[in-house]
Amino acid sequence: MVDDDDDIVWMLTAVLRKHFDVVNASSGLLALKELERSDFAAVITDHMMPGMTGVELLDRSLALRPAAARVLLTASDRVQVFREAVNQARVHRFLTKPLPLKELPKIVGEAIREAELEHENSLLVAELEAKNAELNRANERLEEDVRQRTRELQEAVDKLEELALKDGLTGLFNHRYLQEALEAEIARAGRHGHPVGLLFLDVDNFKLYNDANGHPAGDRVLREIGWLLTGGGDSGIPLQARRSDIAARYGGEEFVMILPETSLEGVLTKAERIRRAIAEHPFEHREKQPLGCVSVSIGAAVFPEHGDNKQSLIDVADRELYRAKHGGRNRVCAPEGTG
């Protein structure tokens, strides 16, 4: 109870002490010291006091003891006082002088209960906000987990798709992909009037190599040929593999290359470059081979010059490969009269 008028303090204290424990202060500064030391259920103050008004006191008590009820006593009827009390001090009750002494305990009790409810509500709101914040964080973590899992699943799907299209030994495209890619390239070339080159390669005397050196050594040869076909090698004869060229393992020791938008002259140049690069590559145990090196025979064909569809082009390239084999191996063959 804060008032600079001793008579009012004595009168109000006598009424309130029947229901509450009351601490008196004669100024706002003394009241603030009491509020700093102890908790209170309510702060009842006169408005017009020297040094600090009741509104100013209640405003500062709001920061110190937010759960305490705030009751303002005033003899003023100025609207500005009420506006400041509401907007600044957020008072729970106004009491105008002369004061309703009989009803004062009930009014103060109601103000205390209202303040308690406000405080409980603020605690609930704070708890709810904290739970919502934690829920939001949990949702963010879950969303990130879902995103990460989705990325991992997509990477796994991409890997599976790649494995479905790639040869496990050499890393080149497999027979299935070759068939689809060749058909697509021929269709595209047919629409735009471009040639498509096709090379069939077969490792010469590969069975002899496997029998003499073992299948692991033979697998290494196949892997290194796959590496050479995709632009590797240090033989001094670069393959100049283009991004559009497609190298595939046809099966066993047979390989195929699709050369989009490549004329017969370009196809034969590329084939000869490949043949020389493989023959000059320092494969392990190459000196044991009949030709003194690991070599390939190559059959070449070009769409639409040698075949107007996928199967006819494959048949021509395969036939030319057979001719290269029977012509002494380690050579390139194309249909007679074309190069």
Distance of CA 86 to the CA centre of its chain: 50
Q: What pTM value is reported for the model? A: 0.56
Structure confidence at residue 221 (pLDDT): 97
Type of residue numbered 17: R
Closest CA to 225 of 248, 246, 208, 243: 248
Closest CA to 281 of 240, 241, 221, 199: 221
Distance of CA 259 to the CA centre of its chain: 38
* pLDDT band for position 318 (cuts 50, 70, 90): very high
Per-residue pLDDT for 81 more than 80? Answer: no
Structure confidence at residue 193 (pLDDT): 93
The residue written with tokens 């390989």 in the block is 255
Helices (H), 166-238: 175-192, 206-213, 215-229
Q: pLDDT digits over 208-265, tens only?
A: 999 999 999 999 999 999 999 988 655 444 444 567 899 999 999 999 999 999 999 9
Structure confidence at residue 215 (pLDDT): 95
Q: Spell out the residues 6+ positions from residue 39 whose beta carbon is closer than 8 angstroms to its own.
A: 65, 67, 68
Closest CA to 1 of 93, 73, 106: 73
The residue written with tokens 């708890």 in the block is 127
Taking residues 181-200, what's their average pLDDT? 95
Query: Catalytic site residues?
Result: 253
Higher pLDDT, 300 or 90: 300
Do 46 and 75 form a contact (C-beta atoms < 8 A)? no
Structure confidence at residue 85 (pLDDT): 62
Which residue ranges form the domains of the chain, and what is each CATH number? 1-165 (3.40.50.2300), 175-333 (3.30.70.270)
Helices (H), 76-205: 79-84, 104-165, 175-192
**Mean pLDDT score of the chain:** 89
The residue written with tokens 């009037």 in the block is 193
Structure confidence at residue 190 (pLDDT): 92
Q: pLDDT digits over 119-162, tens only?
A: 888 888 888 888 998 989 989 998 999 899 988 888 888 777 76
Q: For residues 326 and 320, what is the distance between their CA atoms, to the nearest angstrom?
A: 10
* Token duo for residue 39: 């908790």
Do 172 and 224 form a contact (C-beta atoms < 8 A)? no
Do 87 and 62 form a contact (C-beta atoms < 8 A)? no
Q: What percent of the chain has pLDDT over 90?
A: 60
